[in-house]
Amino acid sequence: MNIRTAQKNDTQEISHLLKNIGMWHEWDEGEGLLSLIDNERVVVVRSEDRIIAVVYTIWFSKTVLHVYRLAVAPEYQGKGVGSDLLTYVEQMAKNKGAVEVGFYVNSSEAELQEFYKKRGFQTSGNTFSYYCKELGDS
């Protein structure tokens, strides 16, 4: 298993993984994904001949790294891949001066919340709602 920053030639595999687990969005391919990769904001886990996990990151400030779109192929879930990926991202963030790593978790995702708690993360206690608006041509 190899954990590393994503490269441009990883885009198809990343998109494929996200599609297979139902997390894909249009920004997960093409120029959107390439921009994230160019800015070293995507980390992947490769096992043998394919990418089995991915996570996107963004700096909220000079000391706070936000993690999102953590995805692990179903056949590798529960085998420590997600934990190893998070540990890698935490160390990467720490090496770049971060004092905190954070993310949003849907309040209905009890299993996912437990995953993060087992790894030392704590809830802020806030309930977050994401609001969006599609911008039409008008």
**pLDDT confidence bin for 116, thresholds 50/70/90:** confident
Q: Is the pLDDT of residue 126 over 80?
A: no
- Where does 1-138 show beta strands of DSSP type E? 2-5, 42-47, 50-59, 64-72, 100-102
Give all domains of the chain, ordered by start, each with its CATH number.
Answer: 2-118 (3.40.630.30)
Nearest 5°: phi and psi at 90?
-60, -45
pLDDT of residue 112: 81
- Both tokens of 58, joined, read 């963004």
Q: What is the pLDDT of residues 75-112, one digit of tens each?
A: 999 999 999 999 999 999 999 999 999 888 777 788 88
Nearest 5°: phi and psi at 40?
55, 45
Taking a C-beta distance cutoff of 8 angstroms, is the pair 65, 100 a contact? yes
Report the alpha-carbon distance of residue 77 to residue 13 in Å, rounded.
Answer: 18
- pTM of structure: 0.83
Residue corresponding to tokens 């936000």: 66
